[in-house]
Chain A
Amino acid sequence: MHSFSDSEIAAYLEEDLEATRASALEAVSVEDTSLQQRIQQIRQQMNDGEHSLGAIWRQHNLSCPGRKTLGGYLLGILPDAQSLFIRSHIETRGCLTCQANLDDLEQQQTETQDTLAARATRYFHSSIGHLSQQSDNEK
């Protein structure tokens, strides 16, 4: 499946295309000049601020299931039809946000509390200074 839709190219340019498709697009575009031209063209349209229904839908995660629903999906306790939707959303549409949420939910089960706490502490310390500065500015 080597043809790429305009929506996929737009997603690629916004770092929002699923990893396998993104690599495929990169590989194909090395030789395929018409694909290169389409990438240019779509980039230009985005630059010009052209509206795209699909991009708005994607950027705002409009059909992404919430965390609780994703948890239910992992546990296999959702109705079949809804599970199929989520599978299509994650695997076929390749929603990166939901893939990340699923990975994170799985990690919470497998990683130790210490590891998770260490990660949070690391992120906390590397950013808290900016928050103090920001709230000082607002005062």
Chain B
Amino acid sequence: MAEVDKLLIQDIRTGSDDAWMHFVERFGGRLQAFVRKKIRDPATVDDIVQDTFIGFINSLPNFDESRPIDSFLFTICRYRLIDHFKKTGRRNVVSMTTDDSQQQIDLPAGDRSVSTLFRSGERRQAEHEALLQILEKEVSLLVESEAWVKLSCLELIFVSGTPNKEIAELLELTQQQVASFKHEFIDKIKRHMLRLGVNTDLFPELYSEP
């Protein structure tokens, strides 16, 4: 996190009104824009943004200042949205599966997200942290070297799960190039993980071929 952001968070922790005003001025617009993509009613949009800010305040004691504020806030906001849709009954794709096997689908999305974070235990948390650090480093290397096509290609492979053929067409690459970007990246990640002593079997994407 940038120094200026760390200072801002420190001031907020002391309960400074000015710092909090500065914070909501800075992040209110982007959160509102995010929620508007999913909800039309302006009052509901505002409610969810407000809940996100309150959620941020409540998680301040646990907030890790080495992480960016942005993705932390958006994560809280997504949880608030999950809760909202759970309550209003929209987005109940999974409950559409069956009315008669209700037991299997009784895990509400909101609980699931929170529980995934907290119950996965320290070991899982450590594995997650290790992979995050490795990915962070590799992605920033691609940005620094301005390897934009490769970065597009890799995020479409891993983040969107787009088929190689489609990626090749979109980025005007050959399918072979797409496959080789993928293998090269997976190799790097595996090597880092071995170095850190993390079991690579834990990550199915490092093995499965599309």
Contacts and interface: CB of A to CB of B under 8 A. Distances in A.
Interface of A: 5-8, 12-16, 19, 25-26, 29-30, 33, 36-37, 39-40, 43, 46-47, 49-54, 56-64, 79, 81-82, 84-85, 88-89, 92-94, 96-97, 99-101, 103-104, 107-108, 116, 119-120, 122-124, 126-128, 130-132, 134-136, 138
Main secondary structure on B side of the interface with A: helix
Nearest to A53: B205
B30 A85 contact: no
Nearest to B143: A63
* B contact residues, range: 35 or more
Contact of A130 (B58, B81, B91): B58
B7 interface: no
Nearest to A79: B146
Give 3 nearest A-B pairs by CB, closest first: A5-B161, A135-B15, A49-B120
B168 interface: no
19 contacts: A14-B113, A25-B93, A29-B96, A39-B93, A43-B94, A51-B203, A52-B205, A62-B136, A82-B146, A85-B151, A85-B152, A88-B171, A92-B170, A93-B156, A96-B34, A97-B30, A101-B33, A120-B25, A138-B61
Nearest to B160: A93
